[in-house]
Amino acid sequence: MTEKPVIDIEIGISTFLEASTDPVTGERISHAERLRRAVEEIILADQVGLDVYGIGEHHRPEYAASAPEVILAAAAAQTKHIRLTSAVTVLSSDDPVRLYQQFATLDAISNGRAEIMAGRGSFIESFPLFGYSLDDYEQLYEEKLELLLAIRESEKVSWRGSRHRAAIDNLGVYPRAVQDPLPVWIATGGNAQSSVRAGMLGLPVVYAIIGGMPERFAPLIDLYKRSAAKAGHDVSKLQIATHSHGIVADSTERAADLLFPGTQAMMNKIGRERGWRGQYTRATFDEERKLRGCLYVGDPEYVAEKIVLLRRNLGVTRFFLHCDIGSIPHRDILRSIELLGTKVVPLVRKELARFEGKA
């Protein structure tokens, strides 16, 4: 009997649980409905064999996911295999003790499938909401990451930071995670310092690739690996993930027509907030969904081809498809998840087995 090929790449879904206004109809889904749909999506993703589902923390009206761990826990008891992660947790404005407790609880409910993706977030609403100053942006993250890692390493914790969090003197943090240690990934949008930090700590890293060509991240991944090697970590065991927008449909034309309107509205809104020059157009969108572009939009064969190229260029071990822009009908999101699990994943693994020589 031939053994099943062992391919060290995981494929899954990421979402912010968008509940934005449909730019065509003007309609908007309620937060409550979007949250219920998320549980349905996670259950389907588990059923079709996807490896991971991640929910990003946001505190804006167009997103429903301010508490990812609660949503993931709702699905944990109804799933069997899929890993459940934040994508991301805004660690700078959270409390590491409470964060560990929440994800250790999720880990228990899921029997060892929880993960934390720790980042600083691409939006800043959580800082004033929870009483933090943006002047402390860097120091907050560094201090809280240090405490989070100390908590996952030891049941009893003694820790002293600088001025942002009270010291802990030999106190226990419970419950303990089923996994030892509870996985913590470093999330970054392409900051070199974040790559160095992740490498020095020997932690897995996730790159958000939402513009340009993914291959431009190769120098950052090289920096990550060199930093890990310098710190004495086994480079062959490092895990590297990417997160990119896209959608899978029965035809490439259908996929593009589904994703473009919401993507254009989202990118132009964010562009106005951040002072970006120019407008996001269909020409921009079409350029980014080309083979070397950052958008994974198309039929199963085309999306699989792009993931294989990503693997060959960057050596990723995990890929997140972010296929939720808020204005896409729920049935099309479910269809995308179904196609990703039943069509794209087998195509990717077959091709990787062929050219990587794993059989």
224 neighbors 202 (Cβ within 8 angstroms):
no
- Tens-digit pLDDT string for the chain (359 aa): 334 444 589 999 999 999 988 888 888 999 999 999 999 999 999 999 999 999 999 999 999 999 999 999 999 999 999 999 999 999 999 999 999 999 999 999 999 999 999 999 889 999 999 999 999 999 999 999 999 999 999 999 999 988 889 999 999 999 999 999 999 999 999 999 999 999 999 999 999 999 999 999 999 999 999 999 999 999 999 999 999 999 999 999 999 999 999 999 889 988 898 888 789 999 999 999 999 999 999 999 999 999 999 999 999 999 999 988 778 999 999 999 999 999 999 999 999 998 886 54
pLDDT of residue 3: 42
* Predicted structure pTM score: 0.95
Longest dimension (CA), the chain: 61
Give the helix ranges, DSSP H, for 116-251: 126-129, 137-153, 192-201, 218-230
Q: Could you tell me which of 113, 114, 111, 69 has the C-alpha nearest to residue 90?
A: 69
Instruction: Give the pLDDT score at 7.
Output: 54
Exposure string (b/e) for 248-284, b if CB count within 10 Å is 16 or more? bbeebebbbebbbbbbbbbbbeeeeeeeeeeebeeeb
Domain chopping of the chain, boundaries: 10-356
Of how many residues is the chain composed? 359
Distance, CA of 341 to CA of 330 (rounded, Å): 17
CATH architecture of 10-356: Alpha-Beta Barrel (3.20)
The predicted pLDDT at position 357 comes to 65
